[in-house]
């Protein structure tokens, strides 16, 4: 299984200066973005820009293109907003790719994207994860090892009242890096 990340999920790691954790996790667990997500983040100076382009090359995250004439391409045409085809293009391309490749699990934090994905991802198996479940999965599988990274990423994405009911108890039970004798890792910086 490969985690297919939408624009918002990647941007939360970038905004919290925790892209190093995402790179480390991608070396342990297969991750990808669709080419449209790459383009969105490269073109967005607030959430990506040139620094994102440099970082992505060494991140371990694959970039997958949707080839013309494939089932993913046909699905994408139907998912695009006819009056503004660029609006939500990255998430719609991600959904189209995940709908045609049952080895992909779509990871999103966009309400509209989740509803689209729920309609389109019909094949058996786990096919979609929200951000909080993805962060927990990454920590449980040691893709993220610093609990402080979880706090920083989730704080950018959602207010405490919006978090899943299990988040506070789960997060409160995690030992800090210092108590595990590992020392806190400094936040990564974009080059």
From CA 151, how far away is CA 64, in angstroms rounded?
29
Whichever domain contains 90, its CATH number is 3.40.50
Residue 57 lies in a domain: yes
Residue 181 forms part of a structural domain: no
Q: Tell me which residue of 31, 30, 58, 7 sits closest to 190, measured CA to CA.
A: 58
Say which residues have a Cβ less than 8 Å from residue 86's Cβ, sequence separation at least 6: none
For the chain, what is the largest distance between any 2 Cα atoms, rounded to a whole number of angstroms? Answer: 55
- Predicted pLDDT at 182: 55
Quote the percentage of the chain above a pLDDT of 70: 92
Residue 179 in any domain: the answer is no
The confidence band for 133, taking pLDDT boundaries of 50, 70 and 90, is very high
Our CA angle for 6, 153, 86, nearest 5°, is 25
Q: Is residue 184, in this structure, part of any structural domain at all? A: no
| pLDDT category of residue 181 using cuts at 50, 70 and 90 | low
- The confidence score (pLDDT) of residue 146 equals 94
Specify if 189 maps to a domain. Answer: no
Q: pLDDT tens across 59-99, in order?
A: 999 999 999 999 999 999 999 999 999 999 999 999 999 99
Give the structural domain span for 22.
Answer: 2-172
Q: Does 22 reside within a domain?
A: yes
CA dihedral 31, 56, 188, 21 (to 10 degrees): 0
Q: What is the DSSP code (8-state) at residue 189?
A: -
Report the DSSP pairing between strands 2-5 and 31-34.
parallel
Lateral strand order in the sheet of 2-5: 62-64, 31-34, 2-5, 104-108, 128-130
Is residue 187, in this structure, part of any structural domain at all?
no
Rounded to whole angstroms, how far apart are CA atoms 157 and 8?
9
The distance in angstroms from the start CA to the end CA of the chain is 30
Considering its fold, how many domains does the chain have in total? Answer: 1
pLDDT classification of 185: cutoffs 50, 70, 90: very low
What is the pTM for the complete model shown? 0.85
pLDDT tens profile 12-53: 999 999 999 999 999 999 999 999 999 999 998 877 788 898
Answer with the residue of higher pLDDT: 178 or 7. Answer: 7
């Amino acid at each position: 299984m490969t985690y297919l990340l939408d624009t918002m999920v990647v941007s939360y790691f970038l905004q919290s200066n925790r892209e190093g954790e995402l790179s480390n996790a991608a070396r342990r667990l297969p991750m990808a973005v669709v080419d449209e997500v790459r383009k969105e983040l490269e073109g967005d100076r607030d959430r990506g820009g040139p620094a994102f382009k440099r970082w992505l090359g060494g991140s371990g995250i694959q970039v997958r293109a949707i080839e013309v004439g494939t089932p993913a391409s046909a699905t994408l045409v139907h998912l695009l907003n006819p009056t503004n085809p660029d609006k939500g293009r990255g998430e719609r391309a991600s959904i189209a790719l995940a709908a045609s490749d049952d080895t992909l699990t779509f990871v999103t934090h966009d309400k509209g994207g989740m509803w689209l994905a729920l309609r389109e991802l019909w094949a058996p198996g786990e096919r979609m994860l929200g951000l909080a479940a993805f962060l927990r999965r990454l920590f449980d599988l040691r893709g993220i090892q610093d609990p402080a990274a979880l706090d920083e990423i989730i704080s950018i994405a959602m207010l405490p009242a919006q978090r899943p009911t299990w988040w506070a108890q789960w997060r409160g039970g995690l030992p800090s890096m210092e108590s595990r004798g590992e020392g806190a890792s400094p936040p990564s910086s974009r080059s």
